[in-house]
Copies of this chain bind each other. A is one copy, B any other.
Amino acid sequence: MEKQTITIYDVAREANVSMATVSRVVNGNPNVKPTTRKKVLEVIDRLDYRPNAVARGLASKKTTTVGVIVPDVTNLFFASLARGIDDIATMYKYNIILANSDQNESKEIQVLNTLLAKQVDGIIYMGNKITDELRAEFSRSKTPVVLAGTVDPDQQVGSVNIDYIAATETIISKLIENNNKKIAFISTALANPINGQYRLKGYKNALLSAGIPFDESLVFETAATVAAGEELAQEMIEKDVKGAYVSDDELAIGLLNGMINAGVNVPEDFEIFTSNNSKITEMARPQLSSIMLPLYDIGAVAMRLLTKIMNKEEIDEKTITLPYKIAYRGTTTKED
């Protein structure tokens, strides 16, 4: 015998009221006489009634769930953003459907489509580049989208980031000042505008200010893994590079460990600045100096922005730039 599900209709019958009244009670509508409210609540409790969110979603056209597209939760960078997102989502009574995209374009499109099919009220996207196809899908539905730690050069959708150009310029200048003229720019996906445009721009700006010519051969593109970083160490030594800016923390740890294994003294003979200040930066020995990206906050603010858009509130500015700091730790010499 299947366990019968209790519906709003059952409650209405037992409480001698209409479905509408039960609905009002459940949704906290004030237009209910206290005595009836009490009676209804009593029946709800007695029958152990639980509103069916799917039915509610169909009727109200709101699911109170948002889709979160993330390259890989296993990367602390994204996990931290996701945590910020979920906390704020919970605060505003939303749930998140988390989907890993592996930065894979077709997977992103597919994920986006199932998210839209599931009628999410909004989407938070993290990734590399907003391809044209992706943008087309975004605008095909009117579901609001916010980018977290991801930029859209065209600023068509909301986004939350820091000023990557300024941050990078600052630390590269610091590196030059501490150190010498040969600084590597080590990045994951240069196709990502954050890396290939903004950070690289900051790097070039700093060189320019110091009167150092830009050397293409000091720009490296590789994977966001420890192994990739270790592999790069030898090349640093061969090219007699004295310092490096790295766009990913795992990659930075790999490079750090690779240099140390090769007998190089860090930071005396080689300085490293990394970008995300995820918690692994403090696990490294020496601890990694880093741009202090407010990871959790980027996620949290992105979700907050999304709630406003979903709620059709007035938005002052949909392109949000958060402040950042610099952590001078063990992989750079002078503090400031």
Give chain A's interface residues, CB within 8 Å of chain B: 3, 48, 50-55, 57-58, 63, 65, 68, 72-74, 76, 79-80, 82-83, 86-87, 90, 95-100, 113-119, 140, 142, 226, 250, 253, 257, 260, 279-280, 282-285
The contact sample of 8 A-B pairs, CB cut-off 8 A, is: A52-B58, A52-B117, A53-B117, A53-B119, A54-B57, A68-B98, A82-B98, A250-B283
Residues of chain B contacted by A57 (CB below 8 angstroms): 54
Q: How far is the CA of A211 from the CA of B262 in the complex (A)?
A: 44
Interface core residue of A51, A58, A116, A142 (most chain B CB under 10 Å): A58
**Contacts A54-B63, A72-B83; A97 near B100 (Cβ below 8 A):** no
6 residue pairs, one from A and one from B, having the closest CB atoms: A98-B98, A53-B118, A53-B117, A54-B57, A54-B119, A74-B83
- Closest residue to A119 on the B side, CB-wise? B54
CB distance from A87 to the nearest CB of B (A): 7
Beyond the given pairs A50-B113, A74-B76, A95-B114, 10 more chain A to chain B contacts, judged by CB atoms under 8 angstroms and listed by A's residue number, are A3-B142, A73-B79, A73-B82, A73-B83, A74-B79, A76-B76, A87-B100, A95-B118, A96-B98, A284-B285
Whether A253 contacts B58 by the Cβ 8 Å rule is no
Residues on the B chain within 8 Å of A142, using CB: 3
Question: By CB atoms of chain B within 10 A, which of A3, A74, A97, A282 has the most?
Answer: A74
| Contact between B285 and A285, CB atoms less than 8 A apart | yes
CB distance from A79 to the nearest CB of B (A): 5
* Minimum Cβ distance to chain B for residue A135 (Å): 16
Residues of B close to A96: CB separation below 8 A = 97-99
How far does the alpha carbon of A50 sit from the alpha carbon of B119 in the complex, in Å? 10
Question: Residue of B at shortest CB range from A257?
Answer: B285
Given the complex of chains A and B, what is the CA–CA distance between A65 and B114 in angstroms? 11
Q: How far is the CA of A101 from the CA of B316 in the complex (A)?
A: 33
> Among B226, B257, B283, which residue has its beta carbon within 8 angstroms of that of A253?
B283
Q: How far is the CA of A162 from the CA of B83 in the complex (A)?
A: 27
Query: Chain B contacts of A113 at CB under 8 A?
Result: 50
Bound-complex Cα distance A96 to B69 (A): 12
What is the CA–CA distance of A283 and B284 in the complex, to the nearest angstrom?
7
Task: Give chain B residues whose Cβ lies under 8 Å from the Cβ of A226.
Answer: 279, 282-283
Residues of B within 8 A of A63 (CB): 54
Q: How far is the CA of A282 from the CA of B254 in the complex (A)?
A: 9
Residues of B within 8 A of A257 (CB): 283, 285
CB distance from A88 to the nearest CB of B (A): 12
Contacts of A119 in B (CB 8 A): 52-54
Q: Are B97's CB and A97's CB within 8 A?
A: yes
Would you call A100 and B118 a contact (CB within 8 A)?
A: no
Knowing A50-B116, A140-B48, A279-B226, the reply to whether A95 touches B100 (Cβ < 8 A) is no
Asked if B58 and A54 sit within 8 Å, CB to CB, the answer is yes
